[in-house]
Amino acid sequence: KLRRAATRLRLNMQYEVLVNVDRTLFRTPRFLPRVLTLLRHASDSKLATCLLKVLRAMTEDVPESVEEMIKHAGMLDLLQEGLEQGGGGDMRVLEVMRLLNRFCEDEAFSLKVCARAMLMEMLEEQHKSSWEEVASLSKAVMKKIQKHMQEHHRKQRGKKMTN
C-alpha cells in the first residue's frame, strides 16, 4: 500500500510539472478537437478522468468552460456512461494509446506533453497481460516527444539568432 501511495504521489508530481510546462501551447486551436476525439474513445474510467483533468488544467483561464465544450461536442453522456461502467478494459486503453501514438507524429507539440501525462496515469493501472504492449507504445511516444522537443528548441534557438 505504501509503495502504491508513493508511486501515485510521484505520478501526480510529474503530472503537475507537465501541466505547468506547456499551458500556452495547449490553447492552440487544433488541440481541443483532438482531445475530444480521444474522449470519444475513452470508455475506460481512469482514462476519461485523466483526459478531463488535462482539459481542465489546460483551459482554466479560458473564458468558455471545458464542461460546455464537452457538452457541445456531445461528450458528456458518453463520458458519464464510461465512468459508471467503471472501465472498459485494457483493450480500450491500448486503442487510445495507438491513437496517441498516431497523434504524436503530428506537429502539435502540446499534445505530446498531454500524451505523456496520460501515459503516466494509465501505466500505473495496467494489468500484466497488456503491460508490455503499453510500455513499448509509451516508449515510442516518448521517443517522438523527445525528438520533437529537440527540434522545437533548435527552431527557438534559430529564431533568436536571426533576430
Q: Over the stretch 84-111, which tens digit does the pLDDT of each residue have? A: 444 444 444 444 445 444 444 444 434 4
Quote the pLDDT of residue 158: 75
pTM of the shown model: 0.26
Task: For 10-22, write each residue's pLDDT tens digit.
Answer: 555 444 444 443 4
CA-angle at 30, arms to 26 and 35, nearest 5°: 70
Alpha-carbon gap, residue 42 to 39, rounded angstroms: 5
Residue 15 phi/psi, 5-degree rounding, is -60, -45
Joined together, the cell numbers standing for residue 136 give 513499448
Q: How many other β-carbons are positioned within 10 Å of the β-carbon of residue 159?
A: 9
